[in-house]
């Protein structure tokens, strides 16, 4: 199997109105062939490769300089996963992704923040990531966001994670999202992690996972609730080698995909994955087309939106399409 990736972010109307920065960031490797040669020290190759990684990070608008924090988390995770992936081309992708995630949130984020004279509030950002190699693929949601998997039979599976709190604060609902930096040594020391735990002390299963399966106009949805401990660990989606060979795309989205006015998340994802071709910057072209269509139809992209796509190019996929 070979993989290629592309990604794109678009600022939402709320940030345009506030004259603020886009808080989303995304990236991946191997680098698209339109970017040019990587740095000589890099071992990433151009175009298709037998392993690939994509990540989307969404900064919290009520945090600090979270546009920077989102970039730090995405770039650092990319580096950690790449380092672990060098151990073996056949190593279980979940092991590689878990090692990378744990290293970043436990120690690496603290180091980056200190180096840039930033605080923990600057790293309030969610993270959705995916790593694939010839053994399979693993995708992960930490915080909120969505993963979409389109197979060769055009079955679209969407997994969305969202935090829901039954506890009221001053008579109002309070639904803080888990940001990975909360698990860092810095946030454990300054009390931020404990404050998050206290916010959900009356909600036994705060992470709500909604899985939607769409095929030939039919929609099936199931909802699962997870405990606070499991929610902090995040949502892992694993594809074995056979399923990955029968997959067209794995796409990651920030929660902005569910904030297109009067457009369902399902329809928004389908629009973002309606590629005319997959040459060059195929995700960037499709995102531009999707946003233009929404504006033309009177819809608004209310929040920042990021999309990163990992495309599978395998003999099984090619022979069936």
pLDDT band, very low/low/confident/very high, at 48 (cuts 50, 70, 90): low
Q: 118 in a domain, yes or no?
A: yes
Q: 28 in a domain, yes or no?
A: yes
- pLDDT above 70 for 46: no
Q: 167 in a domain, yes or no?
A: no
Give tens-digit pLDDT for 62-83: 889 999 999 999 999 999 999 8
State the pTM of this model. Answer: 0.91
For the chain, the 3-state helix, strand and coil shares in percent, each to the nearest 5, are 35, 30, 35
Coil, strand or helix: which one is 223? strand
- The residue-averaged pLDDT of 40-68 equals 78
Q: 227 in a domain, yes or no?
A: no
CATH, residue 102: 3.60.40.10
Q: 159 in a domain, yes or no?
A: no
- pLDDT above 70 for 184: yes
- pLDDT above 80 for 44: no
pLDDT given at position 316: 60
Q: Name the residue range of residue 92's domain.
A: 2-153+239-320
Total count of domains within the chain: 1
- pLDDT above 60 for 311: yes
Q: 297 in a domain, yes or no?
A: yes
Do the bridges between strand 52-59 and strand 24-29 make them parallel or antiparallel, or are there none, so unpaired?
antiparallel
Distance CA 308, CA 316 (A): 23
Which of 30-39, 210-219, 248-257, 269-278 is the least confident region?
A: 30-39
Helices (H), the chain: 13-17, 66-85, 93-103, 109-115, 185-189, 192-199, 228-233, 241-245, 265-272, 282-296, 315-320
């Amino acid at each position: 199997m070979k993989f290629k990736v592309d990604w794109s972010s678009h600022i939402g109307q709320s940030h345009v109105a506030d004259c603020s920065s886009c808080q989303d960031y995304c990236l991946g490797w191997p680098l698209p062939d339109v970017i040019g040669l990587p740095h000589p020290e890099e071992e990433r190759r151009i175009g298709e490769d037998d392993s690939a990684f994509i990540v989307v990070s969404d900064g919290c608008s009520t945090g600090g300089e979270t546009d920077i924090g989102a970039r730090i988390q995405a770039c650092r995770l990319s580096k950690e996963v790449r380092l672990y992936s060098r151990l073996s081309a056949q190593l279980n992708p979940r092991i590689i992704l878990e090692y990378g995630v744990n290293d970043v949130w436990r120690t690496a984020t603290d180091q980056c923040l200190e180096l840039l004279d930033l605080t923990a509030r600057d790293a309030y950002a969610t993270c959705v990531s995916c790593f694939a190699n010839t053994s399979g693929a693993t995708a992960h949601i930490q915080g909120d966001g969505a993963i979409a998997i389109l197979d060769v039979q055009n079955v679209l599976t969407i997994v969305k994670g969202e935090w829901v709190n039954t506890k009221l604060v001053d008579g109002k609902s309070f639904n803080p999202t888990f940001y990975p930096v909360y698990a860092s040594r810095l946030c454990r020391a300054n009390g931020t992690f404990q404050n998050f735990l206290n916010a959900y002390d009356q909600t036994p299963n705060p992470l709500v996972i909604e899985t939607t399966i769409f095929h030939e106009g039919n929609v099936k949805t199931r909802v699962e609730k997870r405990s606070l401990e499991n929610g902090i660990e995040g949502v892992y989606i694993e594809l074995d080698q056979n399923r990955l060979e029968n997959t067209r795309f794995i796409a990651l989205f920030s929660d902005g995909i569910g904030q297109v006015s009067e457009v369902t998340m399902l329809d928004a994802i389908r629009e973002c994955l309606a590629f005319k071709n997959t040459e060059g910057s195929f995700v960037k072209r499709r995102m531009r087309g999707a946003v233009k269509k929404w504006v033309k139809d009177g819809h608004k992209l209310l929040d920042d939106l990021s999309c990163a796509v990992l495309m599978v190019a395998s003999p099984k996929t090619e022979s069936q399409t």
